[in-house]
């Protein structure tokens, strides 16, 4: 059981938009920055969003992040078949004094 809650799966058609939610509490999301990662099959995770809504260089603006209270959201527009992957949110938990991840969301581009 993950500390952060993500939907197990989401799907949308090519070209459409999808959002992935990440729900936590005041001990984690509510008081710490959230990062988002994409993991393509058989590869290591890759940073998509850091500090809630910032994109590293090289990440297209199709990817966006937002946060409100104890929940964070990853948005992906202009979906491509290459976006099919597992997506994870992560942050620090002050009560646990450790990092926490969501259980991951599998994105299917129909």
Partner 1 sequence: EVQLLESGGGLVQPGGSLRLSCAASGFTFSSYSMSWVRQAPGKGLEWVSAISGSARSTYYADSVKGRFTISRDNSKNTLYLQMNSLRAEDTALYYCAKDPKLRCSIDYWGQGTLVTVSS
Reduce the DSSP state of residue 29 to 3 states and report it: helix
Q: Quick check: 5 binds partner 1 (CB under 8 A)?
A: no
Exposed/middle/buried for residue 19 (C-beta within 10 Å: 0-12, 13-18, 19+): middle
Count other Cβ atoms within 10 Å, centred on residue 67.
Answer: 20
In the complex, the smallest distance separating the C-beta of residue 49 from partner 1, rounded to whole angstroms, is 11
Interface positions, 67-96, toward partner 1 (CB under 8 A): 86, 88, 90-92, 96
Binding string to partner 1 for residues 10 to 49, with x set by CB under 8 A, is what? ----------------------xx-x-x-x----xxxx--
């Amino acid at each position: 059981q993950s500390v952060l809650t993500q939907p197990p799966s989401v799907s949308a058609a090519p070209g459409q938009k999808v959002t992935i939610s990440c729900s936590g509490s005041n001990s984690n999301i509510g008081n710490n920055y959230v990062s988002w990662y994409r993991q393509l099959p058989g590869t290591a995770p890759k940073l998509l969003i850091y500090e809630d809504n910032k994109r590293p260089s090289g990440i297209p603006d199709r990817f966006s992040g937002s946060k409100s209270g104890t929940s964070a959201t990853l948005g992906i527009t202009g979906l491509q078949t290459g976006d099919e992957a597992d997506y994870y949110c992560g942050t620090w938990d002050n009560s646990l004094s450790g990092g926490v991840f969501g259980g991951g969301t599998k994105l299917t581009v129909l």
